[in-house]
Structure 1
Amino acid sequence: MAHSLVREHGQLLNDLGSGTVKMNIVVNTKTGETDHSVLTELPPEEAFESFAARVRPFLMSKEPVYWALVLDALEALLSEETLAELVDIEGLRAHWSNVVEGSQVAHAYYVVTDKGKLTDIQLANLWLNSDALHTQIIQSEVGKSLSLNQRYQAAASVYARIGACANNTLYLISHLVNEGLLELDPSVFTAPVTADTHVEIPGKVKIYSAEVGAELPADLSNLDPEVWKPIHEDIELLTGAEDAEES
């Protein structure tokens, strides 16, 4: 998956997806007192918002990359022999379904308060819809009683698992294509999915300047030289002399 979090924090995402946590247990052998703590490391939230936004279309039935539609297409394109001997399409469906469908059953844990309880999936949805991609007001009392940190912790684990599903499905499709068992347009693997941060207008460019308020020309091949100057001839603009005089 072409995302900076996968490249730079791949192991962290794997740990989140598998539910790995660190436990610190301290026992005072003299007094018998104990101290237990659980630590979960999370990726930077802003970067994870981007990750969740990239993963979200796989969960939306109206999107062409909705997970069930992808698996339907994969099943239709593969031969009966490949499906029988290599690709367990029903097992793949079951795995996706377990990860993405339903919110009443927890992936890993429930949070229980005196206001009620929520699954980690419900908490993740609150983060997505109230903190990250949307600004919906949290309505439930139990939801209001839980913090942003608790919502984000749940979301990080839930969406890491969904991302792992998407990544593993991509690996499977890539393997099938490489083995000649599946034919796809090569552009699906080469089309850009992230924009460049350095953009230069292609071809030969000419730059002109004019006074603020000048009427835009209708014919670029016949500019009025009294109004439009080649940028290299506009000394005041290039040196900032006019701005300096005004200040």
Structure 2
Amino acid sequence: MTQISDEELLGRFVLRARRVHAHSLVQDWDELLYHARGEFQANIDISGRMSIMRRLPEHEEVFESLASRVRPLTVKSEPVYYVKVFTAIDRLLGDRQGDGPHRERLQQLRRAWEAAEIQGTQAQAYALQSARIDGSEATNMVSDTQLAAAWLYADLVHADATGPKREALAFPLRERYAAAVRLFSHLAALTVETLRLVQSLRDSGVLSVAGSAWDDDVVIGATEFVQEAQAFVAPVGASAPDLRDSLGFGEQWSRFTVTDLLRQDPTNHVRVVLKDAAGSTITSYDAAVSRRKAVETSVEWDVLVAGSVIFKFSFDVDVDVDVDVDVDVDVEGERTVEAHFLGWEAFDSTNELKLSSTLLLIQLHRATSMTFEVRDEKIVALGPSAFSVDQVRELEVFAETVADIVAIERLTGQTLDPCNGRLDDRDRVRLRRARLMWEGQIVHAIRHPVTVTAPAGNPPQVILTAAGTVDVGGTLVPTPAILMRHPDMMATEHGDAPEAGPQAKKYTIQPPEGERFIAWSPDRAQVSNDNDLVVTASWDLTGIDETTFPY
């Protein structure tokens, strides 16, 4: 390779940097810096559903051209590789860089370029890992550096991602593209800043999508990247879970909720404490003010408790005091205000919200006082609830039912319609058995006879029920495929069943008098013979005796 002088090298850099600076995406400097920061914008609703959006450049091909213009500054073999540029600047400046801000800025830029190096596995802003919902096919933890480099070398200018970049190919093209937008936008901004330092143009970069296989995405085709998601938070320094070990996040991590979002503002902090007649704390909640409104000489507050119930209050203030929606009740000096409880509203758009609000109401019945505190100062105290014994019993049964539905939602990864209709004890038993079998338990099933068809003409040894649904209060709850058997069950033949085959016959199968079939899901529990046919979990339902229940 022909050796070039420092002056020529710096001239080439200026030409390249000017080319970057002239790019349309760099002309909007604020927009470029937005992409360089790699911001994630999240929206969360009261049910806990979250969507995460990463806004991308409007035109994919335009960003592709920017990345191409920036690329020579990142390649060691190129004469304008950033390390060579800074070395040339150092030599050309010599002692003239010795004083003041000039040297400091030069050093800052060099460190920034080094931190943005596109080779290696270091995470510059974030890292990703993915796995199937059952925990299989987990990837390695892949940094944004690897994702962006893979986009450059596998999707844009080459097709030969090697080394750490290959691990990023486990993620979809859009993830590589999103990572590259942040990194190459950042490199473009650094190019411009370096250009300004040496009286040159700045460099800017745009990413594009390259097709790979018939079933791969080949274009992004959107200016937003929106995903339905859940967010989890943990103290600074907590280690990220490895999805190859578990899909759970561990005790340090908790799900980010609307309450968490509201409590980002300290003025929204409310502590809710429930106590019994002896003054002992039953439970407490970190609640949050979700709405403030000034109304003439009062301030209205809505307080979200347990993420599912809004308690509404009105606070009277002095007439000669300016009322502001951000007034802290009972905190303005030593002034006391009069509080009025306006009522409460429970959210029930999901089964999780229904469960949370129902459990709160049950706890409220057990308490003799419910206090609302702001900065350790009690602002409101509510007395005991007026629920009757029958109403509490209904709440407990309903909470038990919805808890089963929520458990099945989590086990199956499905979101079911909220339970809003009437239900009876038979519905509750069928639901609890379904939940236990989803959990891999072996349970007591029905006690009445079952009519079946046996294609081979011999009495069946097990009774198979295909996967389906059970209607519980208007919620269609999925049930797994189920096998039932009793070691001493009896079969009675009822003749041929030609519709099922030439040798098929109909049978009535029933367990011994006073006993039940035993049921399990073959996909969730292993039963090899009658020695394994042992009930592992009881129904344990309020008000229902498993030994005498008629169904």
Aligned to 2:317: none
How far apart in 2 are the matches of 1:101 and 1:143?
13
Maintained 8 Å contact 1:109/1:119: yes
Unaligned runs of 5+ in 1: 28-32, 175-187, 190-247
Query: 1:146-165 residue pairs with structure 2 within 5 A?
Result: 146-165=171-190
Aligned to 1:13: 32
1:66 aligns with 2:90: no
Maintained 8 Å contact 2:74/2:81: yes
1:49 is paired with a residue of what secondary structure? Answer: helix
1:100 is paired with a residue of what secondary structure? Answer: coil
Of 140, 151, 166, the match for 1:116: 140
Maintained 8 Å contact 2:35/2:182: yes
1:24 is paired with a residue of what secondary structure? Answer: strand
Maintained 8 Å contact 1:49/1:133: no
How far apart in 2 are the matches of 1:12 and 1:35?
29
Q: TM-score by structure 1 length?
A: 0.62
Aligned to 2:65: 50
Maintained 8 Å contact 1:75/1:83: no
How far apart in 1 are the matches of 2:126 and 2:92?
38
Aligned to 1:4: 24
Runs of 4+ in 1 over 4 A off after TM superposition: 137-142
Aligned to 1:36: 50
Of 101, 104, 128, the match for 2:121: 104
TM-fit CA distance, 1:151? 0.9
How far apart in 2 are the matches of 1:56 and 1:26?
41
1:78 is paired with a residue of what secondary structure? Answer: helix
TM-fit CA distance, 1:81? 4.5
How far apart in 2 are the matches of 1:109 and 1:57?
25
Number of corresponding residues: 170
TM-fit CA distance, 1:66? 1.1
How far apart in 1 are the matches of 2:179 and 2:67?
12
How far apart in 1 are the matches of 2:76 and 2:162?
24
How far apart in 1 are the matches of 2:49 and 2:26?
34
Deviations 1:184-236 (A, max 9, x none): xxxx77xxxxxxxxxxxxxxxxxxxxxxxxxxxxxxxxxxxxxxxxxxxxxxx
| Larger strand fraction of residues | 2
How far apart in 1 are the matches of 2:178 and 2:150?
11
1:23 aligns with 2:42: yes
Maintained 8 Å contact 1:107/1:120: yes
Query: 1:137-216 residue pairs with structure 2 within 5 A?
Result: 142-174=167-199
Maintained 8 Å contact 1:57/1:63: yes
How far apart in 1 are the matches of 2:84 and 2:146?
24
Which structure has more RCO (C-alpha within 8 Å, separation ≥ 6)? 1
TM-fit CA distance, 1:171? 1.1
Read off the aligned partner of 2:73 and give its amino acid letter. Answer: F
Of 159, 169, 174, the match for 1:135: 159
How far apart in 2 are the matches of 1:80 and 1:142?
45
TM-fit CA distance, 1:73? 1.5
TM-fit CA distance, 1:136? 2.9
Maintained 8 Å contact 1:23/1:38: yes
Percent of paired sites with the same residue? 31
Which has the higher mean CA deviation after the structures are superposed, 140-149 or 156-165?
140-149
TM-fit CA distance, 1:40? 1.1
Of 72, 86, 90, the match for 2:107: 90
Maintained 8 Å contact 1:99/1:162: yes
Deviations 1:100-153 (A, max 9, x none): 154211111101121222111101111111111122368988534311111100
Q: CA RMSD in A?
A: 2.3
Aligned to 2:504: none
How far apart in 1 are the matches of 2:101 and 2:161?
47
2:72 is paired with a residue of what secondary structure? Answer: helix
Residues 53 and 147 of structure 1, relative CA distance in 2, 3 Å threshold? same
Residues 18 and 141 of structure 1, relative CA distance in 2, 3 Å threshold? closer
Over alpha carbons, which structure has the higher Rg? Answer: 2
Deviations 1:3-31 (A, max 9, x none): 12112x5333211211223221222xxxx
2:121 is paired with a residue of what secondary structure? Answer: coil
Unaligned runs of 5+ in 2: 1-20, 131-137, 202-551
| Larger helix fraction of residues | 1
Aligned to 1:230: none
